[in-house]
């Protein structure tokens, strides 16, 4: 839906409520004022549009049609495993009540493929997490409404139907196969060609074979598809799976396809044979090694992307929250002489609190009271500071004025290097009558806070 035109002049009515917009992408910052009724109208139109789209989703099915052209375009460029990314293929929006033949007419118009030369395969997710064409639609299924076919084919997302379009012609331009396979002996295989010198893999087509036939019998055809000479030796591998590890195994050309356990939707990767050659010039002389490398690279890239997203999320949250790390005598007693020997505490191992920056510090003290069982009136907090000699010590107690500030304001004052984090030392001191020993802030500048460590030369041990 197009956005409403924005007037270049503001309303002169003093009673008119307005909103201001800044377009930061312009070379010069441009400020426009929109009347509130325009804003409200636009919001209403967007809500109506979303409601309309939701209602239409109940009436239509999104059909994603993958073709050989899509596989050739993606394999070796955008993807290396399986066959296609369905989010990047042509999508058709068909009414659920329409017969499947309606889709075939739409495909004929879109791709110029006559209806009689179209045959469709349903995709299925296998137990090994691969996603392959599973079976061809039957003649009976092709006259069903799209909605019924979608429900049968996809248990996970019945608003969507994924298909593979097979186009096969005889020499006299008659369809090679009627809907449904002519015999269960036929197996649909997909072919990838690997070049160990260029370290590339690409899609070269699909092929029907008889289950009783042998891979040896299709080698001539594979050489033709690859542009190899007839006397070139080639090796065949089956791409089995890639999660959680890559599994790609060599195919014995003397076994039958059934004995090799090949079935519809399986992938054969083939390459020139390097058995009688030196392989020193190749990083990945065989397909399995190349696929393992690509998988590890993909895992690494995915991890880097996730870390980048996480950092962005943390950066965004840092604008709203402050991490308050509270060190207590218990932490110093636990760490000194065991985990650390110098300074006082490792702040990464003390209790942390994720607090909204706008929260007053007094509210945080209530949280501490509930967490540690220390009444608010017995809590006093000290800010840490890095000294010139690189030690890190409590520097001064918070004043009464500082304790009524927000957490965000306090963190900005206390830590110039990282204002998304606030480090404080919690002092708890009681008089004999359970009154606080000190008011907020030190009573005089004469008072000094010292920390004590005891050394035992016999046991060679130091403790807090």
Domains of the chain: residue spans and CATH:
1-55 (no CATH), 60-167 (3.10.20.90), 186-292 (3.10.20.90), 321-463 (3.10.20.90)
More confident residue, 406 or 444: 406
Per residue in 213-236, pLDDT tens? 999 999 999 999 999 999 999 999
3-state secondary structure of 395: strand
Report whether 397 contacts 448 (CB < 8 A): no
Alpha-carbon distance of 209 to 53, in angstroms, equals 44
Q: What is the pLDDT of residue 283?
A: 94
Per residue in 134-170, pLDDT tens? 999 999 999 899 888 866 665 555 578 999 999 976 5
Alpha-carbon distance of 283 to 273, in angstroms, equals 15
Asked whether residue 50 carries a pLDDT value surpassing 80, the answer given is: no
Give me Rg for the CA atoms of the chain: 35
Asked whether residue 416 carries a pLDDT value surpassing 60, the answer given is: no
Asked whether residue 19 carries a pLDDT value surpassing 50, the answer given is: no
Asked whether residue 12 carries a pLDDT value surpassing 50, the answer given is: no
Report whether 325 contacts 421 (CB < 8 A): yes
Alpha-carbon distance of 337 to 341, in angstroms, equals 5
Report whether 192 contacts 225 (CB < 8 A): no
Among candidate residues 23, 12, 20, the one with its CA nearest the CA of residue 36: 20
Q: What is the pLDDT of residue 294?
A: 95
What pairing do the DSSP bridges indicate for beta strands 160-167 and 118-125? antiparallel
CA angle, 210 as apex, 205 and 211 as ends, to 5°?
110
Among candidate residues 274, 184, 186, 212, the one with its CA nearest the CA of residue 237: 274
Distances, alpha carbon 41 to alpha carbons 2, 12, 44, 352, 459, in Å: 13, 20, 5, 46, 79
Please name the residue ranges forming H helices in 161-245.
Answer: 219-226
Q: Given pLDDT bands bounded at 50, 70 and 90, which one contains residue 27? A: very low
Q: What is the pLDDT of residue 170?
A: 54
Asked whether residue 398 carries a pLDDT value surpassing 80, the answer given is: yes
Q: What is the pLDDT of residue 452?
A: 95
Alpha-carbon distance of 410 to 361, in angstroms, equals 8
Alpha-carbon distance of 368 to 425, in angstroms, equals 12
Asked whether residue 40 carries a pLDDT value surpassing 60, the answer given is: yes
Query: Which two tokens mark 453?
Result: 């460590």
Which residue shows structure tokens 């109940």?
58
Which residue shows structure tokens 């036939």?
213
What pairing do the DSSP bridges indicate for beta strands 351-356 and 30-35? unpaired
Alpha-carbon distance of 32 to 22, in angstroms, equals 7
Alpha-carbon distance of 215 to 218, in angstroms, equals 5
């Amino acid at each position: 839906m197009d956005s409403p035109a924005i007037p270049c002049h503001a309303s002169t009515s003093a009673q008119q409520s307005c909103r201001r917009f800044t377009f930061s992408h312009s070379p010069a910052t441009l400020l426009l004022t929109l009347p509130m009724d325009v804003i409200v109208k636009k919001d209403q139109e967007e809500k109506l549009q979303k409601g309309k789209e939701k209602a239409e989703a109940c009436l239509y099915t999104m059909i994603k049609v993958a073709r050989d052209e899509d596989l050739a375009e993606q394999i070796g460029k955008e993807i290396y495993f399986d066959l296609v990314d369905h989010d990047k293929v042509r999508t058709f929006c068909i009414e659920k009540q329409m017969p499947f033949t309606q889709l075939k007419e739409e495909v004929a118009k879109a791709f110029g493929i006559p209806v009689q030369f179209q045959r469709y395969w349903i995709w299925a997710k296998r137990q090994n997490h691969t996603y392959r064409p599973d079976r061809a639609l039957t003649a009976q299924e092709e006259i069903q409404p799209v909605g019924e076919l979608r429900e049968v084919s996809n248990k996970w997302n019945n608003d969507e139907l994924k298909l593979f379009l097979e186009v096969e012609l005889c020499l006299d331009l008659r369809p090679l196969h009627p809907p449904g396979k002519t015999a269960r002996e036929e197996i649909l295989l997909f072919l990838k060609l690997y070049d160990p010198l260029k370290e590339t893999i690409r899609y070269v087509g699909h092929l029907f074979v008889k289950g009783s036939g042998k891979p040896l019998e299709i080698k001539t055809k594979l050489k033709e598809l690859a542009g190899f000479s007839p006397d070139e030796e080639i090796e065949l591998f089956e791409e089995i799976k890639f999660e959680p590890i890559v599994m790609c195994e060599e195919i014995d050309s003397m076994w039958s396809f059934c004995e090799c356990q090949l079935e519809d939707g399986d992938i054969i990767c083939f390459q020139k044979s390097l058995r009688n050659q030196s392989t020193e010039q190749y990083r990945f002389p065989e397909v399995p090694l190349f696929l393992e490398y690509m998988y590890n690279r993909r895992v690494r890239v995915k991890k880097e992307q996730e870390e980048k997203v996480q950092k962005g999320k943390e950066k965004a949250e840092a604008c709203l929250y402050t991490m308050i790390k509270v060190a207590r005598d218990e932490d110093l007693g636990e760490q000194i002489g065991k985990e650390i020997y110098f300074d006082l505490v490792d702040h990464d191992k003390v209790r942390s609190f994720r607090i909204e920056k706008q929260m007053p510090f007094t509210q945080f003290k209530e949280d501490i009271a509930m967490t540690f069982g220390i009444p608010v009136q017995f809590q006093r907090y000290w800010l840490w500071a890095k000294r010139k000699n690189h030690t890190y010590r409590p520097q001064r107690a918070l004043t009464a004025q500082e304790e009524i500030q927000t957490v965000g304001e306090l963190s900005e004052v206390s830590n110039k290097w990282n204002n998304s984090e606030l480090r404080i030392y919690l002092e708890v001191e009681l008089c004999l009558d359970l009154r606080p020993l000190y008011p907020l802030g030190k009573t005089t500048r004469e008072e000094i806070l010292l920390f004590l460590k005891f050394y035992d030369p016999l046991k060679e041990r130091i403790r807090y």
